[in-house]
Structure 1
Amino acid sequence: MEVDEGANPALDKDQKMEDTEEEERQQQSKDDNEAGKGKQVSSKKSVFDEELLRVYYARLFPHDAMFRWLSYGNDPDRADEQSQIDSDYFMRREFSFTMADDVYIRYLCFRDASEFRQLIERKNPHKIDIGPLYTLPPKNNKSVKAAAFKPVERELVFDIDLTDYDEVRLGCTPDMMWDRGSWLYMSVAMKIVDEALREDFGFEHLVWIFSGRRGVHCWVSDKRARQLEDKERKAVVDYLTLIVGNENAAQRVQLSHPLHPEIFDKMVLSPEGQDILCEKSRWDKVLKLIPNKELRARLDSAWASDDGKDSRFRWKQLKATTEDEIKRLSKDRSGGNKKTIALLRKVVPTILIVFCYPRLDVNVSTHRNHLLKSPFVIHPKTGKVCVPILDVANADAFDPNDVPTLPKLADEINAADPNMEGPLYLQTSMKPYLEGFEKQFLKPLYNTIKREWREANEKLAAESGDW
């Protein structure tokens, strides 16, 4: 059920704002710590519990960090300190809450971090989704004509879900536990998309988030990315998308982007990966991508009689057999085999891409009015925290089975030393994720924001002659 609720900046000024922000963060952490000292949390072992969720929102959820991210420096309480601040910026951002019994509340908005925190702690939502900025505060959407209420800004986001690989992937769907081979699909997809976004599009401020269950999300927060129109977002997604959906993949593959064979070996051939050619039920997934019926039958027969050979051996055999068939057909000078030869030349790169290339949810990325699950919420099916994956280059080492969970955090809160200085999260498994989000994502983002403010004010000063 859906419910509708409705001056020229000097360096010392930047430093003053930064110092004030840090003081407020420390004070909020201190307040959170003091409020919970000496109180024991019911350590229930169900993966998702409303009482534990309420404790999590009150004591560990990073309300202030989330506000600093999604406001991009536009804090209404600091408007007199910086002329570039838009006091209504955060207020125009849509949030939605999913409550118990799937009650869905849309068009929520907040003036500042305090309002954001208060409603989260009061409502105790099972899920929080983040939407775009609109032309006016979302709560006022019914007060104007539809044409006057439209999304104008949102992070460029990407959603990669393991279920989209089911036609080629082996193993169970990881509702609770991931196998290593399945996680490799996510880590490789992240590396490919991250590299393309940074090198081909020049984006800098990306954060990857484990969805808490079956996939990963990427949030691109550069101002240029946030201001892309839907058609421009589609162009980015089209550039990155080689496979759409999960039916008849071989017929839809575009071979415009090479993929290193080592990725295929690690993900698909190795015993640590999918080991896709180790038995008939597995190699049939590969053979169906070969358009030549006779060649499929020849390889199937050879593999069925060579018991004991591994996937790497059979992959080499597939490549050699395909190349031999191309050479044989090329001897016919009549030209009657040109189409078959062209298809056979695509066999190896097609298999590489079908098994390895990222599969993106196109609609999530292209439509600005689409909402996406917030980082740091608890997935209600698994109890896992949607934590950032901070080292994409080493994403293989990320273990989705070892992220903080609601029951685990309850135990850590109970075991925390109430006399220890510093915020509570320092004594929990949230520490590396919250510190990493702050230092590796928010700090560089705010360096860029402050630089852009200086440049904008200097330009205004130059135009007005007011130096």
Structure 2
Amino acid sequence: MFRKPYHPHIERSLEVLKDQFIDVVIREQDPWRHEDRYEDLARAVPDYRLSNALIKYWKTTTDRSSADKWLDVDKYYQNLKIQSFDLQDWKKEMIFKTMYPRLDVEVSRQMIHLLKSPFCVHPGTGNVCIPFDPSKEKFNPLTAPNLQTLFNEDEEHVENTSLQPSIDLFNKYVRDLMKEELTKKRTRDESKESLEF
């Protein structure tokens, strides 16, 4: 994905992304827990022996979380004495593939692109860009409200439209974000006070 040595910006990004990858992807989302998904992790490993050994092991141990499987890659890499690739470089690449933002030309060029903000309307389809709950396993973008549906619903009371659950979710997200920032600010302020003479 990126050439080595990494640009300093990429190195700094990696430091930020590592913790988020562990907390959000591996612990919260737990993407490789089930058989239909853990093969994605194993197939991402660039060594055929290691990939097959992981799949074989995971088929016999169905109770392992994504965090366990992430550690299994380390264990099997060492046990099989793999030398065909560097494990730490592979882990960095996995973090980048999963977490590093990738914006195409249209996202960068057009102010109306759906990635710009929630609740904007796609000019071609009329679909409304809505936030979704990442803790829920399934999200079908085809069930998101579209402009025509919203016009047909009660215009005077937004709480009666199909957009309301998304608005509630977004409001909850913003409230939680504000609480988190307030907690961080208090912690910073307290640590500043303790450093004063």
User: What is the TM-score normalised by the length of structure 2?
Assistant: 0.51
Q: Could you tell me which residue of structure 2 aligns to residue 428 of structure 1?
A: 158
1:246-305 residue CA offsets vs partner (Å, 9 max, x unmatched):
xxxxxx2456331224435533565xx3622421x4222222322233222322221122
**Which segments of 5 or more consecutive residues in structure 1 lack a partner in the other structure?**
1-251, 330-336, 417-426, 434-467
2:90 maps to a residue whose letter is V
Q: Could you tell me which residue of structure 2 aligns to residue 276 of structure 1?
A: 32
| 1:407 equivalenced with 2:137 (yes/no) | no
| 1:306 equivalenced with 2:61 (yes/no) | yes
Secondary structure at 2:153 match in 1: helix
Write out aligned runs for 1:167-246 (5 A).
none
Q: Could you tell me which residue of structure 2 aligns to residue 263 of structure 1?
A: 21
Q: Could you tell me which residue of structure 1 aligns to residue 112 of structure 2?
A: 373
Relative to structure 1, the CA distance from residue 409 to residue 299 in structure 2 (aligned partners, 3 Å threshold; closer, same or farther) is: same
1:276 maps to a residue whose letter is W
2:149 maps to a residue whose letter is P
Write out aligned runs for 1:287-306 (5 A).
287-306=42-61
1:284-339 residue CA offsets vs partner (Å, 9 max, x unmatched):
222232223322232222112223333332222223333x359x57xxxxxxx6xx
Write out aligned runs for 1:332-343 (5 A).
340=84, 343=86
Aligned equivalent of 1:361, options 85, 104, 111: 104
Write out aligned runs for 1:382-461 (5 A).
383-386=126-129, 405-413=147-155, 416=156, 427-428=157-158
Larger Rg: 1
| Contact kept in structure 1, 2:27 and 2:67, CA below 8 Å | yes
Relative to structure 1, the CA distance from residue 395 to residue 349 in structure 2 (aligned partners, 3 Å threshold; closer, same or farther) is: same
Q: Distance in 2 between matches of 1:384 and 1:346?
A: 40
| Contact kept in structure 2, 1:290 and 1:296, CA below 8 Å | yes
Q: Distance in 2 between matches of 1:379 and 1:363?
A: 13
Relative to structure 1, the CA distance from residue 409 to residue 260 in structure 2 (aligned partners, 3 Å threshold; closer, same or farther) is: farther
Number of residue-to-residue matches in the alignment: 144
Relative to structure 1, the CA distance from residue 311 to residue 278 in structure 2 (aligned partners, 3 Å threshold; closer, same or farther) is: farther
**Which segments of 5 or more consecutive residues in structure 2 lack a partner in the other structure?**
114-118, 168-197
User: What is the TM-score normalised by the length of structure 1?
Assistant: 0.25
Select the structure with the greater relative contact order (CA < 8 A; seq sep ≥ 6).
1
Q: Could you tell me which residue of structure 1 aligns to residue 178 of structure 2?
A: none
Q: Distance in 1 between matches of 2:106 and 2:110?
A: 11
Q: CA deviation at 1:353?
A: 1.9
Aligned equivalent of 1:348, options 86, 91, 107: 91
Relative to structure 1, the CA distance from residue 385 to residue 309 in structure 2 (aligned partners, 3 Å threshold; closer, same or farther) is: closer
2:18 maps to a residue whose letter is H
| Contact kept in structure 2, 1:412 and 1:428, CA below 8 Å | yes
1:360 maps to a residue whose letter is L
| Contact kept in structure 2, 1:253 and 1:354, CA below 8 Å | no
Secondary structure at 2:44 match in 1: coil
1:373 maps to a residue whose letter is I
Relative to structure 1, the CA distance from residue 306 to residue 395 in structure 2 (aligned partners, 3 Å threshold; closer, same or farther) is: closer
Secondary structure at 2:63 match in 1: coil
| Contact kept in structure 2, 1:379 and 1:385, CA below 8 Å | no
2:102 maps to a residue whose letter is R
Q: CA deviation at 1:378?
A: 5.6
Q: Of Structure 1 and Structure 2, which has the larger fraction of its residues in strand?
A: 1
1:219-241 residue CA offsets vs partner (Å, 9 max, x unmatched):
xxxxxxxxxxxxxxxxxxxxxxx
Give identity over the alignment, percent: 17
1:406-444 residue CA offsets vs partner (Å, 9 max, x unmatched):
32343323xx3xxxxxxxxxx43689x8xxxxxxxxxxx
Secondary structure at 2:74 match in 1: helix
1:410 maps to a residue whose letter is N
Q: CA deviation at 1:361?
A: 0.6
